[in-house]
Amino acid sequence: MPSLFEMDIQKLKGVGEKRKKLFEKLGAPTVGDLLRLYPRAYEDWSLHTPIQETVLNEVAVVKATVLHKPTETRVRGGMTLYKTRVTDGESDMALTFFNNKYIPSMLREGQVYLFRGKVTGTLLRREMLSPEFLPEAKELRIQPVYPATAGLSSRQIGAAVQHALSLLPERIHDPLPDKLREKYHLCTLRYALETIHFPKNQEEITAARFRLAFEEFLVLQLGLLRIKSGRKQENLHPVPGEFPEGFARLLPFQLTGAQRRAITEALEDMAGDSPMNRLIQGDVGSGKTAVAAALCWAVIQNGMQAALMAPTEILAAQHYQSLNALLEPAHIACALLTGSVKQAEKKKIYQALADGRIQLVIGTHALLSEKVEFANLGLVITDEQHRFGVGQRSALAQKGASPHLLVMSATPIPRTLALMVYGDLDISVLDELPPGRQKIETYLIGPAKRDRAFGYVQKHLDQGRQGYLICPLIEEDESGMQSVTQYAALVEKAFPSASVGVLHGRMKPAEKEQVMASFSRGETQLLVSTTVVEVGVDVPNAVIMVIENAERYGLSQLHQLRGRIGRGQHQSTCILITGAQGEETLKRLKLFRDTSDGFKIAEADLKLRGPGDFFGQRQHGLPQLKIADMTTDMEVLRQAQACAKELLAQNALEQPEYKGLRGEIRRLFAKTGGEDVVL
Ligand code: ADP
Ligand code: MG
């Protein structure tokens, strides 16, 4: 449908300048995008209930006849009410609408309608306030529910979609050719689009969803597999495979068995025929940095350069400090390159990288700058890789001639999904924590016990330890800004003798770094922070963490936060504070309190919140899926994966009948900002 993707949404009836903005907000700037804005649920209007049997305070659909033309009453505050009564033959019900002057002309006396809304009033005198309604004769009983936004209701979106569907040309180009659809029992694109928006029954929804989810997975898989096969396969940077004992001797500790295994696996890759392409998955605190450093060391000993990219300046600076301290005695030249490095300094680094004097560069996205060139880049590492897009991952690699790639992630991913997300990588798992770690004690308390918790924190400060106090995001909204400062004020009052640092996402990188550095040197005892400390920060002397409004976080996020403590020899404690009463919420938090295994937490998180949150775009750097569901559509995924492999093996995508599919791949990956995906 290339033409519809170019057709401005304003071409549709009832869509002007203002609505266009709202549609854009929903991700549908064009008519084509609108057709792919799928309902998030359906309302079944076919199951109506006799008025007498409706349950108070619950939503019901009632089929009833309007008894009289709605009457108009003005009340104080400039409000106008429209009231009428309806009957289903057995009993009556009152309807009230507010400020909608069209009601009298829309609801006609003697006509039958379906009304849907929450039933209020009393058992004897039931009522609905502003119910939705449809003429009884209307055939479509299953109504789509769209992700509405302020100023644009689900109904209005539905109307626009209906118009958009009518604009589909007689013959639309289906990105899935006939023979492929036959093989996998898929309906046509036209049928799928018409049906997903306006189905007649559940079977139709199932058929349409299957086809659309299949297509989506297929496009995603093809994109990922092509990224992988697009890489040159020859190993231009062979590294002899001996274990870097020289590096191990530099460490103040013994490597764990898991660390040694991961290093060995990576070294085998780097000595092999094609470049390494490996993921290291290890729970927080499992010691991924040491593995990365060992591999850098090995590469550098063989005359090549290495680059390590981290998602935040805090993390990059921290990696730089620890790696530089470790590698300097071995005469390895390291540099830190982030956005806040001064221009003159940057120039020096660019030069030294280009002529090979700097052997290891650690940095943020700043490493992706055009000006960064390497003399002989042999290894590229991305830390906390889920924070980067697929495109960025490969962008750094393109600065060398097929360097070895290592990505590290602390988000444990349930095994079934790793295949999908990291289908193009080999995986090592660090399943062993360094010795001497004690289990982190976790408590769940209500706000009434905050004072006691603070007293407990004070006791640790008195013993020379440090702590984190986590309060809700300020990135959320304007008013949230106050919450961090207000909270900091509360904290300063509660800990009059402590030195308190404040860290949040709105601060300039340099400021953040200063706050973090002083915490890391032990000059600040308490760090009040939003989740910016979530990723990778390592201060072993910090042993206590209080998380306010714990209910606001997902389990995986809580796990990441909790991973900031328990990193040294001292017993660590995490206290979750929540005022939430909901049964589900408490169940979730209790599960977290009682579990320390990151993989178990990830699986629970996935089950409880669904992949939308767990695997939101930010988590894995993959394009957002519109309809396919990574947890419940595993069978569709399996078939789409098989299909993708087959198409690539046959080189089928080059054929003209797959032009549409190629376009879909490009479109999907373009939206991630990964414009450098080569297709
Ligand atoms: P993560 O996997 O979360 O990135 P880090 O690499 O930051 O973990 O390591 C966490 C802490 O454990 C660091 O302070 C590091 O020095 C320490 N560490 C790593 N490996 C070992 C080990 N084998 N023995 C003892 N301490 C270790
Ligand atoms: Mg780390």
Q: Return the higher-pLDDT residue of 390 and 572.
A: 572
Q: How would you label 366-386 residue by residue, b for 16+ Cβ within 10 Å and e otherwise?
A: bbbeeebebbbbbbbbbbbbb
pLDDT digits (tens, 9 = 90+) for 282-325: 887 889 999 999 999 999 999 999 999 998 888 898 899 989 99
Beta carbon of 253 within 6 Å of any ligand 1 atom: yes
Whether the predicted pLDDT of 669 surpasses 50: yes
Residue 386's pLDDT is: 60
- Backbone φ and ψ for 249, nearest 5 degrees, come out as -70, -20
Q: Which of 417-426, 451-460, 635-644 has the lowest mean pLDDT?
A: 417-426
Distance 634 CA to ligand 2 centre (A): 30
The CATH class of 47-140 is mainly beta
Name the closest-CA residue to atom 19, ligand 1. Answer: 287
For the Cβ of 263 lying below 6 angstroms from any atom of ligand 1, the answer is no
pLDDT (0 to 100) of residue 633: 79
Which of residues 344 and 598 earns the better pLDDT score? 344
Residue 476 pLDDT grade (very low, low, confident, very high; cuts 50, 70, 90): very low
Q: Is 311 in the pocket of ligand 1 (CB under 6 A)?
A: no
CB of 284 within 6 A of ligand 1: the answer is: yes
What are the φ/ψ torsions at residue 402 (nearest 5 degrees)? 40, 65
For domain 245-430, say whether CATH 3.20.20.70 is its number: no
Least confident of 8-17, 239-248, 413-422, 534-543: 413-422
Query: What confidence score (pLDDT) does residue 228 get?
Result: 61
Residue 409 near ligand 1, beta carbon < 6 Å: no
Say yes or no: do domains 47-140 and 441-595 share a fold: no
Which ligand 1 atom sits nearest the alpha carbon of residue 430?
2
Distance from the CA of 241 to the center of ligand 2, in angstroms? 25
Q: What is the mean pLDDT of residues 441-452?
A: 94
Q: Whose CA is nearest to atom 23 of ligand 1?
A: 255
Strands (E), 370-480: 377-382, 404-409, 426-430, 441-445, 466-470
Does the C-beta of 286 come closer than 6 Å to ligand 1?
Answer: yes
Q: What is the pLDDT of residue 179?
A: 93
Q: Say if residue 23's pLDDT is above 60.
A: yes
Side-by-side strand order, sheet with 377-382: 334-337, 360-363, 305-309, 377-382, 404-409, 277-282, 426-430
pLDDT given for residue 27 in this prediction? 87
Share above pLDDT 90 across residues of the chain, in percent, rounded to a whole number = 50
289 Cβ inside 6 Å of ligand 1: yes
* pLDDT value, residue 678: 28
Helix (H) or strand (E) holding 119: strand 112-121
Closest residue by CA, ligand 1 atom 5 = 287
Percent of the chain with pLDDT strictly greater than 70:
88
Q: Residue 74: CB partners within 8 Å, gap ≥ 6?
A: 80, 81
Q: Is 369 helix (H, G, I), strand (E, B) or coil?
A: coil
Domain 441-595: what homologous superfamily?
A: P-loop containing nucleotide triphosphate hydrolases (3.40.50.300)
Q: Is 457 a residue whose pLDDT tops 90?
A: yes
pLDDT for 481 equals 46
Contacts within 8 Å (CB) and 24+ apart, 103-108: 103/70, 104/69, 104/70, 104/72, 106/133, 107/66, 107/69, 107/70, 107/133, 108/66, 108/69
CB atoms closer than 10 angstroms to residue 597: 12
Provide the pLDDT for residue 616.
39
- Whether residue 613 has pLDDT greater than 50: no
> What SS3 class is residue 582?
coil
pTM of full prediction above 0.75: no
- The response to whether residue 536 sits with its C-beta less than 6 Å from ligand 1 reads yes
Task: Say if CB 575 and CB 460 are below 8 A apart.
Answer: no
Task: Look at residue 428 and tell me whether its pLDDT is greater than 90.
Answer: no
Confidence of residue 475 (pLDDT cuts 50, 70, 90): very low
Tell me how far apart the alpha carbons of residues 385 and 406 are, in angstroms, rounded to a whole number: 9
410 lines ligand 1 (CB under 6 A): yes
- Tell me the per-residue pLDDT of 105-145, one tens digit each, with 9 for 90 and over: 999 999 999 999 999 999 889 999 999 898 876 665 788 99
Lowest mean pLDDT among 25-34, 59-68, 382-391: 382-391
Give the model's pLDDT for residue 258: 94
**pLDDT in the model for residue 679:** 25
Dist. CA 285 → ligand 1 center (Å): 5
In the predicted structure, residue 70 carries a pLDDT above the cut 80: yes
pLDDT at 388 over 60: yes
pLDDT for 617 beyond 60 = no
| Closest ligand (CA of 539) | 1
Band the pLDDT of 281: cuts 50, 70, 90.
confident
Averaged pLDDT for residues 644-648: 88
Quick one: which ligand is closest to 260's CA?
1
pLDDT band at residue 379 under the 50/70/90 scheme: very high
Q: Please determine, for residue 478, whether its predicted confidence score (pLDDT) is greater than 60.
A: no
Q: Long-range contacts: 40-45, Cβ < 8 Å, 24+?
A: 40/145, 40/146, 40/147, 41/145, 42/142, 42/143, 42/144, 42/145, 42/199, 42/205, 43/116, 43/142, 43/143, 43/145, 44/141, 44/142, 45/114, 45/116, 45/134, 45/141, 45/142, 45/143
User: Is residue 567 lining ligand 1, measured as CB closer than 6 Å?
Assistant: yes
**pLDDT for residue 535:** 62
Nearest atom within ligand 1 for CA of residue 540: 14
C-alpha–C-alpha distance, residues 505 and 632, integer Å:
34
Residue that wins the pLDDT comparison between 5 and 339 = 339
| DSSP secondary structure, 5-51, as one string | HHSBGGGSTT--HHHHHHHHHTT-SBHHHHHT---SEEEE-S----G
Quote the pLDDT of residue 615.
42
Q: Check pocket membership of 256 for ligand 1, CB cut-off 6 A.
A: yes
pLDDT, tens digit, 9 for 90 and up, residues 282-294: 887 889 999 999 9
Domain ranges of the chain: 47-140, 245-430, 441-595
Please report the pLDDT score of residue 69 as a whole number: 94
DSSP label of 52: G
Residue 536 Cα, ligand 2 centroid: separation in angstroms? 4
pLDDT band at 404 (very low <50, low <70, confident <90, very high): very high
Burial class (CB in 10 A: 0-12, 13-18, 19+), 448: exposed
Please give the Cα distance from 93 to 548 (Å, whole number). Answer: 46
Closest atom of ligand 1 to 282 CA is 2
CB of residue 434 inside a 6 A radius of ligand 1: yes
Compute the distance between CA of residue 95 and CA of residue 86 in angstroms, rounded to an integer: 7
Look at the block and give the residue holding tokens 């290495």: 306
Whether the per-residue pLDDT at 2 is higher than 70: the answer is: no
Q: Give the β-pairing of 277-282 and 132-135.
A: unpaired
290 lines ligand 1 (CB under 6 A): yes
Confidence of residue 435 (pLDDT cuts 50, 70, 90): confident
Q: Identify the helix (H) or strand (E) that includes residue 501.
A: strand 500-503
Q: What pLDDT does 480 receive?
A: 43
Residue 260 CA to ligand 2 center (angstroms) comes to 17
Q: Is the CB of 282 under 6 A from ligand 1?
A: yes
pLDDT of residue 257: 95
Residue from 247, 250, 253, 409 to probe ligand 1 pocket by mutation (most atoms less than 8 Å from CB) = 253
Higher pLDDT, 483 or 407: 407
User: What confidence category does residue 677 fall into, taking pLDDT thresholds of 50, 70 and 90?
Assistant: very low
* N residues, the chain: 679
Q: Does 160 score more than 50 pLDDT?
A: yes
What digits encode the pLDDT tens for the residues 589-612?
999 999 988 878 877 776 666 544
Residue 598 Cβ < 6 Å to ligand 1: no
Q: What is the mean pLDDT of residues 497-518?
A: 87
Q: How confident is the model at residue 89 (pLDDT cuts 50, 70, 90)?
A: very high
Say yes or no: CB of residue 566 within 6 Å of ligand 1: no
Closest protein CA for atom 16 of ligand 1? 287
Stretch 427-434: mean pLDDT? 85
Region 201-226: what's the mean pLDDT? 90
When the pLDDT of each residue in the chain is averaged and rounded to a whole number, the result is 86
pLDDT at 139: 62
Ligand nearest to the CA of 429: 1
